[in-house]
């Protein structure tokens, strides 16, 4: 298979960037991978792990001569990083990102980019609760969605090229409007994370009352919540601060439903509870049928995810 890009620059070297690098290396998709991370510790570790061909000392240096630049930093840092690289981008290069929110990234990045580059925002809907350069693995994007949210005026050849990189890394690609993306992700990812954070916080409060029983007898539901609630604090702080409206809208609906279920429990309305749980069970079946999870024991998870 011929190379899709000659040189890719990965800005930020955590879970997503290192997974991209491993997948690119596995299938020889790009001529050269250049990396940059803001801290010396991460740059050094990435060098030791060897998933980049070169590591640069500055973001501006890393993007020089790259025909693809991927911003892999928390969404709150995208604007700042795009300012750092803007003067060093090659004419005709594609700039993309992997941020979990799209409207805020587009607003923060677009104004800083020269008009001779092609900006194609993206979000691979794939992740784990791990972060940093050690956490990446080539299979992360296998059979996951990567959502692209380009403007309709962007060069279609550049869009197809980026699409082919993501499909070669194992992902299924779909196009979406940025605002629609943010609403969908608020339902499927952002609000569930906040609920997990809250549940683990509540359990921690109760633990103080019941000693360590909450951890000792940790059941499946709670264990799942603790896994999600172990996700990177910086990344998730930024997600909530930048996808404020959609997340608050979903949480408002969630609170209404929670009140209805609370009332059903209080009034002994078993029919309401049974109907509700039957409906949600169907949704779980749909997720499995769509290939987005398995019904294997241990929550269908292997060691890595």
Residues that bind ligand NAP (CB under 6 A): 12-17, 37-39, 42, 72-75, 77, 80-81, 98-100, 123-124, 127, 131-132, 232, 235
In the complex, what is the shortest distance from the CB of residue 104 to ligand NAP, in angstroms, rounded to a whole number? 10
In the complex, what is the shortest distance from the CB of residue 131 to ligand NAP, in angstroms, rounded to a whole number? 3
Using CA atoms, how far residue 81 sits from 61, 73, 121, 209, in Å, is: 12, 8, 15, 45
**111 SS3 class:** helix
Between residues 241 and 260, which has the closer beta carbon with respect to ligand NAP? 241
Between residues 11 and 29, which has the closer beta carbon with respect to ligand NAP? 11
Between the CA atoms of 284, 286, 289 and 291, what dihedral angle is there, to the nearest 10 degrees? -70
In the complex, what is the shortest distance from the CB of residue 15 to ligand NAP, in angstroms, rounded to a whole number? 4
In the complex, what is the shortest distance from the CB of residue 198 to ligand NAP, in angstroms, rounded to a whole number? 19
Between residues 187 and 264, which has the closer beta carbon with respect to ligand NAP? 187
Using CA atoms, how far residue 115 sits from 79, 95, 111, 112, 173, in Å, is: 16, 11, 9, 9, 25
Listed in sequence order, the residues at least 6 apart from 242 whose beta carbon sits closer than 8 Å to its beta carbon are: 75, 76, 101, 103, 104, 105
In the complex, what is the shortest distance from the CB of residue 209 to ligand NAP, in angstroms, rounded to a whole number? 33
| Cα 178 to chain centroid, rounded | 15
User: What letter would DSSP give residue 173?
Assistant: E
Between residues 142 and 269, which has the closer beta carbon with respect to ligand NAP? 142
In the complex, what is the shortest distance from the CB of residue 235 to ligand NAP, in angstroms, rounded to a whole number? 5
Dump the DSSP string for 53-91: SEE-SSHHHHHTT-SEEEE-S-GGGHHHHHHHHGGGPPT
Between residues 9 and 214, which has the closer beta carbon with respect to ligand NAP? 9
Bridge partner list, 70:
10, 96
In the complex, what is the shortest distance from the CB of residue 285 to ligand NAP, in angstroms, rounded to a whole number? 25
Bridge partner list, 11:
36, 71
Q: How far apart are CA 224 and CA 261, in angstroms?
A: 21
Of 143, 189, 196, the C-alpha closest to 166 is: 143
Residue carrying the six token digits 């840092």: 77
Q: Report residue 280 as tokens.
A: 């949600």
Between residues 126 and 214, which has the closer beta carbon with respect to ligand NAP? 126
Instruction: Kindly tell me the number of DSSP H helices and DSSP E strands found in the chain.
Output: 13, 9
Between residues 80 and 269, which has the closer beta carbon with respect to ligand NAP? 80
In the complex, what is the shortest distance from the CB of residue 38 to ligand NAP, in angstroms, rounded to a whole number? 4
Between residues 244 and 272, which has the closer beta carbon with respect to ligand NAP? 244
């Amino acid at each position: 298979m011929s190379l899709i890009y000659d040189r890719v620059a990965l800005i930020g070297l955590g879970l997503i960037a290192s997974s991209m690098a491993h997948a690119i290396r596995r299938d020889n998709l790009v001529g050269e991978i250049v990396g940059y991370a803001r801290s010396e510790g991460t740059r050094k570790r990435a060098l030791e792990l060897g998933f980049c061909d070169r590591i640069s000392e500055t973001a501006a240096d890393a993007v020089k001569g790259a025909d693809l630049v991927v911003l892999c930093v928390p969404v709150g840092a995208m604007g700042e990083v795009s300012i750092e690289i803007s003067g060093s981008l090659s004419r005709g290069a594609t700039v993309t990102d992997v941020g979990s929110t799209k409207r805020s990234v587009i607003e923060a990045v677009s104004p800083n980019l020269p008009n001779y580059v092609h900006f194609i925002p993206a979000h691979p809907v794939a992740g784990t609760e791990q972060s940093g350069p050690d956490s990446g693995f080539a299979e992360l994007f296998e059979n996951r969605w990567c959502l692209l949210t380009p403007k309709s005026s962007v060069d279609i050849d550049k869009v197809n090229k980026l699409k082919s990189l993501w499909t070669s890394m194992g992902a299924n690609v779909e196009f979406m409007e940025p605002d629609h993306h943010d609403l969908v992700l608020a339902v499927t990812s952002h609000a569930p994370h906040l609920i997990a954070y809250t549940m683990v916080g509540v359990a921690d409060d109760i633990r103080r009352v019941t000693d360590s029983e909450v951890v000792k007898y940790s059941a499946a539901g709670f264990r799942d919540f603790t896994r999600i609630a172990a996700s990177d604090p910086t990344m998730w702080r930024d997600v909530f601060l930048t996808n404020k409206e959609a997340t608050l809208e979903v949480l408002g609906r969630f609170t209404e439903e929670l009140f209805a279920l609370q009332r059903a429990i209080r009034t002994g309305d078993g029919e309401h509870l049974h109907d509700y749980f039957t409906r949600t069970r169907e949704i779980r079946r749909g997720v499995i049928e769509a290939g987005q999870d398995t019904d294997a024991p241990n929550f269908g998870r292997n060691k890595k995810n």
